[in-house]
């Protein structure tokens, strides 16, 4: 996956989504996406550009849930799109472990909390 391919798809998105992705898109190396905070987020080099954008949007929602809170409906919607890309439970668990190792944020705990809450805003408590 080349950065120019990602930017081509990003250019066709709404401005606020473009901005969030471009700000986070510092580099893509191997199977990790490097965000602005220096986290190396797991990606699969077999994903298409649109799949990569969908996964990164979900990562951004999880990150935002810990940092300032998110709308539960938006988080669950991005999770559903993420699940269309990452269909296997095993791959999802592997991604969650790598994501938590890189950022300290748990995809599993965030989604579980959102699913139990169902509506409103979600602000995760940092475990540290």
User: What is the C-alpha to C-alpha distance for residues 106 and 85, in angstroms, rounded to an integer?
Assistant: 19
Spatial distance between the Cα atoms of 38 and 19, rounded to a whole number of angstroms: 18
CA atoms within 13 A on the CB side of 41: 25
Closest listed residue to residue 106, CA positions, set 59, 47, 37: 59
pLDDT tens digits for the chain (128 residues)?
A: 444 455 555 555 554 454 455 445 533 444 445 444 555 677 777 787 778 888 888 988 998 899 889 999 999 999 999 999 999 999 999 999 988 888 889 999 999 999 998 889 999 987 65
């Amino acid at each position: 996956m080349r950065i120019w391919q990602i930017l081509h798809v990003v250019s066709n998105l709404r401005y606020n989504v473009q901005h969030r992705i471009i700000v986070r898109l510092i580099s893509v190396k191997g199977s990790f996406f490097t965000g602005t905070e220096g986290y190396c987020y797991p990606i699969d080099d077999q994903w298409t550009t649109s799949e990569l954008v969908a996964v990164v949007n979900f990562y951004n929602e999880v990150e935002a849930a810990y940092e300032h809170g998110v709308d539960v409906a938006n988080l669950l919607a991005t999770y559903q799109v993420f699940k269309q890309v990452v269909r296997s439970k095993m791959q999802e668990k592997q991604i969650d472990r790598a994501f938590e190792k890189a950022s300290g944020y748990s995809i599993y705990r965030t989604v579980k909390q959102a699913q139990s809450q169902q509506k409103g805003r979600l602000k995760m408590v940092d475990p540290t």
